[in-house]
Chain A
Amino acid sequence: AQTVTQSQPEMSVQEAETVTLSCTYDTSENNYYLFWYKQPPSRQMILVIRQEAYKQQNATENRFSVNFQKAAKSFSLKISDSQLGDTAMYFCAFSRNNDMRFGAGTRLTVKP
């Protein structure tokens, strides 16, 4: 079974600075997908970014980008120019054949 590990339970960053959230996963599969979801205080689950394992190029969505290291099974999320609205829980997720599993989450606080 696939496992997803987020080793940072909590992190904080000053507004306008950059922060990186870590995620590692374990799988024997070669084709899969990786995701970061954001859960603000409203508890809504919001897709932040998605990466296909067969693509070498790292995904980017505005201020959010990933560092995907397939051999190391690492998938970190970088948030640039952090904003107060980025304060949330961030979940890393692994998916294959529509079976998605989540890490335990990292609580990010952006400080003014």
Chain B
Amino acid sequence: DSGVTQTPKHLITATGQRVTLRCSPRSGDLSVYWYQQSLDQGLQFLIQYYNGEERAKGNILERFSAQQFPDLHSELNLSSLELGDSALYFCASSAAGSPGNTIYFGEGSWLTVV
């Protein structure tokens, strides 16, 4: 158990809909990352937050948005969903100054768009 909690674990929704994925980082971790992994693909970096502020942005679509709240949990909002958005969405966290900048992953949220 990495200590990073993601909900829901599985989600099925229709095209055009909007969903919210939630992440609770490890206790004390200030950084939260979101990654997308499509079937048999690598990890695509979406966005990083550090202590409530956006730190880095990757290949995140305009239909997607995220935020990190004062209690450090984070949410990834996916709207106007398309079939191609079906993927495993990972949240990860790290502590500032953590050994080797190591990030720890949650178990992921499986999103299926039908």
Mask of B85-114 contacts with A, CB within 8 angstroms, 1/0 = 000101010101001111111011000000
Contact of B14 with A by CB under 8 A = no
Q: Which residues of B contact A37 (CB under 8 A)?
A: 105
A98:B103 contact, CB within 8 angstroms: yes
Contact of A40 with B by CB under 8 A = no
Asked, given contacts A45-B90, A103-B42, whether A95 binds B104 with beta carbons under 8 Å apart, the answer is no
- Residues of B34-76 whose CB lies within 8 A of A: 35, 37, 41-43, 45, 48, 50, 55-56
State in angstroms the CA–CA spacing of A100 and B45 once bound together. 8
A95:B100 contact, CB within 8 angstroms: yes
Per a CB cutoff under 8 Å, which of A45, A95, A103 touches B101? A95
Asked, given contacts A98-B48, A102-B42, A104-B42, whether A33 binds B108 with beta carbons under 8 Å apart, the answer is no
B42:A96 contact, CB within 8 angstroms: no
Contact of B31 with A by CB under 8 A = yes
Q: How many chain B residues touch the partner (CB < 8 A)?
A: 26
- Residues of A46-60 whose CB lies within 8 A of B: 47, 50-52
A91:B43 contact, CB within 8 angstroms: yes
A98:B94 contact, CB within 8 angstroms: yes
B48:A99 contact, CB within 8 angstroms: yes
Mask of A80-112 contacts with B, CB within 8 angstroms, 1/0 = 000000000001000111111111110000000
Q: Which residues of B contact A35 (CB under 8 A)?
A: 100, 102
Binding site for A on B (CB under 8 A): 31, 33, 35, 37, 41-43, 45, 48, 50, 55-56, 88, 90, 92, 94, 96, 99-105, 107-108
Q: A43-B37, A103-B42 are in contact. List 19 more A-B contacts (CB 8 A).
A: A33-B102, A43-B107, A44-B105, A44-B107, A45-B43, A45-B90, A45-B105, A47-B104, A50-B102, A52-B100, A95-B102, A98-B48, A98-B55, A98-B94, A98-B96, A100-B103, A102-B35, A102-B43, A105-B42
